[in-house]
Structure 1
Amino acid sequence: MITIKKTLLLVTASLALLLTGKVQACVDAVVLVHGNTASPASWDNTYNYLRSKGYKTTDIYRPNWGSKSCAACNDHSGSEETPVRNAINSALNNSCTGKIDVIGHSMGATLAAQQIDKLGVASQVDAFVGVAGAFRGLLSCGVYPFNVWSSTCGSAGLSVSSPFLDSIYGVRFGQRVYSIKSNIDQVVCATGSCLVYGVHSSRIWGENASYTYSLGHFGLQTDTAVRQYNLIR
């Protein structure tokens, strides 16, 4: 009789937790990769929204990469790679689903894409979201190898047709791939045009969908948290 009562109490307690929404569902771990010279805090709006939807702090990874004082010094080679690669590996190792979602902003989007490709884990990325990325290059950086004036625009950077960009072109970064873009992006569209060979540079080949907002480069990151969440669900 005592055993039956204990069992009933446990069942009742479990039902109560389910009804109050306090049981943490198993979700993909999420990796949020910030842009050039930014910091993990630039994801605060997205982070807080995910937390409000039941994600635990241990479900969210925000690697801190690159120089914060020299935008022209950062590229997709060497020390910039390590924090992002480590975050993706950690997220995969700790995700209760065995899969992860990756959202990258600006140069963080191409850096995240590169690391997914190098690690060969695209099949374990449920959703990849590139926010204000320059997947087809920055016209302000010129066309490689001409007018390449910094590391950011160099062979491992974002000049149009750079060896780096050519190396990831056509690669799949997840089972579902999305881009979030703007036609008034101060970085991607700095020259007055967002198009590279007729395609918006923030668009990703083979993407499932692309979403356009009337927001600036940084607003695309901070003001689309709800869209970002909906895309990775």
Structure 2
Amino acid sequence: MRSATLCALLALIPAVLAAGPAAADEPSYSYPSGLAAELSEPGQSPPGANDWHCTPSAAHPNPVVLLHGLSNDTISWNTLSPVLANAGYCVFTTTYGVGLAGPLIGAFAPVEDSARQIADFIDRVRAATGTEKVDLVGHSMGGAVPFYYLNRLGGVGKIDHYVALAAPLHGTTVSGIASLQPLLESTAFGRELVQQCGPCSLSPGSPFLDTLNPDPAIAPDIRFTTVVTRYDEIATPYTTGLMDGPNVRNVVLQDLCATDFTEHYELPYDPVAVRVVLNALDPAHAQSVSCTVVLPFVGPVGG
């Protein structure tokens, strides 16, 4: 699975080089557009994000904070950020948790460090917008790390909607790669690396999962939505991204659209998932999901 994923990513290089970053009013529903944005202007905010003078409207009173996975905000939110901004939301993003992997890849630092950075960023957003609460949308690690914020850093009263896309809430096998972690930890260098690797703490059976405690019951007033794909190759098994509780709605994309073949990386760009996110943030004005053919990495056919 890992070699197939690498081959697929390498095959995207021509498309990435040919693509340009999406305009704020014309988002692209394709993962290569985020890669192109990072290549063209590394570290830029995604379109529509981080207007620190944005005033939330009565229709959308909560600013939306987008939290990336093992990536950065430029790559991850090149589609959803402009979609939300065009829908009238104040949108904010940040690259958090930069660690040993370098500035291109956030969410790598220990979860505790990432969560503190997220907490500080949310407080900054609340202060700038004058709001009591924000809505969170997180992909992968960005959907899991905030539970540390809720459990340990006093975040429960600051969140209204919490949308988790392909989040390894209950640990992930990473399609079997996580089974190699004990071998890595058998060396002094490997142990040091694992200690500094936030995602490593979410391997199956890790005691840190009890600390993370992804239990929606800790925050009964938060409305949780999970979105997963059966074709996920990173958050595996895909059911790791689901939760139980009266304040939770679980969405398996293929239950909505059998021709949606998106995997982990394409998920934040997937038009079916994007509609689910919009409906979760504004359920009073939810719209039906339009099913289409969505291919891994590249997005909707003809989109």
1: CA distance, partners of 2:130 / 2:93: 18
Q: Flag structure 2 segments of 5+ consecutive residues without an equivalent.
A: 1-55, 186-193, 254-260, 283-303
- 2:137 touches 2:143 (CA, 8 Å); kept in 1? yes
Indicate yes or no: 2:243 matched with 1:204.
yes
Output the amino acid matched with 2:241: S
Output the amino acid matched with 1:113: F
Deviation at 1:205, TM superposition (A): 3.8
3-state SS of the aligned residue for 2:78?
Answer: helix
Q: Equivalent residue for 2:231?
A: 184
The normalised TM-score by structure 2 is 0.57
Query: Whose relative contact order is higher, 1 or 2, with alpha carbons under 8 Å and at least 6 apart?
Result: 1
Output the amino acid matched with 1:217: H
Aligned-residue identity in percent: 21
Change (3 A) 1:124 1:85: closer
Indicate yes or no: 2:208 matched with 1:164.
yes
2: CA distance, partners of 1:117 / 1:84: 13
Q: Equivalent residue for 1:128?
A: 162
1:39 to 59, 69, 73: 73
Change (3 A) 1:69 1:92: closer
Indicate yes or no: 2:61 matched with 1:27.
yes
Q: Equivalent residue for 1:75?
A: 110
Output the amino acid matched with 1:92: R
- 1:29 touches 1:94 (CA, 8 Å); kept in 2? no
The normalised TM-score by structure 1 is 0.72
3-state SS of the aligned residue for 2:275?
Answer: helix
- 1:92 touches 1:98 (CA, 8 Å); kept in 2? yes
Deviation at 1:130, TM superposition (A): 0.8
Q: Which has the larger radius of gyration?
A: 1
- 1:137 touches 1:158 (CA, 8 Å); kept in 2? yes
1: CA distance, partners of 2:64 / 2:122: 9
Deviation at 1:100, TM superposition (A): 1.1
- 2:165 touches 2:227 (CA, 8 Å); kept in 1? yes
Q: Equivalent residue for 1:137?
A: 171
Question: Aligned-pair RMSD on alpha carbons?
Answer: 2.8
1:226 to 275, 295, 299: 275
Q: Flag structure 1 segments of 5+ consecutive residues without an equivalent.
A: 1-22
2: CA distance, partners of 1:105 / 1:177: 14
Output the amino acid matched with 2:77: W
